[in-house]
Amino acid sequence: MNRNLFFLLITFILFSCKENSKIPANTKKESKPKTEKQDNITTEISTDISQLQKLIDFSKFRPEKVKFKYTFIDNSNGRVPGPSDSFLEAILYFDDKTMEKIQEISQNEEASNLNYQKKAFKFDWLEKQVLSELESSDSLKNIHPDLIFGTNNGECWYLKNKILLKKETN
């Protein structure tokens, strides 16, 4: 009787282990967004593509991964309520072929009138290697208005397989 109970217990344990191993090993948990709220200002830093997709349009080109900082200033509760302001800084990562297609589309737009400053794309949360790549990039070849993500007034800086995007609404 004890032998049968022991055998049953071992079988149950092995079966439980097997069930746990069916969870895909490559399933990445999205890192939780870091959100700070101070008075009427909410700032969120996240790597969640679905959250960023609520702010910009990925119907033409969807990035492989993203990181962004979104700041929302709620001006609706002041002495004189006014429109709210928002600021978006993002880095969008693409594969080689997708980035080539994006550059082909952007190649035809007039970039000489753009008044973008490289320092505006030096987001304080960017990794050092991205900042270094930005610093060594050519302003005339890499600045573009947003023609792809539907921001209307967005500014883009193209790097190797990534785009720095900046958008303000105020």
- Say what the pLDDT of residue 164 is: 97
**pLDDT tens figures, 131-142:** 999 999 987 778
Cross-strand pairs, 43: 36, 71
Q: Determine contact, residues 129/164, Cβ cutoff 8 Å.
A: no
Q: What is the mean pLDDT of each run of 10 residues along the chain (170 residues)?
A: 56 55 42 83 95 95 97 85 90 96 80 74 96 90 86 91 93
**pLDDT tens figures, 26-55:** 334 456 778 899 888 999 999 999 999 999
User: Can you state the percent helix, strand and coil of the chain, rounding each to 5?
Assistant: 30, 25, 45
Domain residue extents for the chain: 39-168
pTM for the whole thing? 0.76
Name the residue among 96, 67, 90, 64 with its Cα closest to residue 160.
96
- Say what the pLDDT of residue 142 is: 85
Rounded CA gap, 161 and 100, in Å? 9
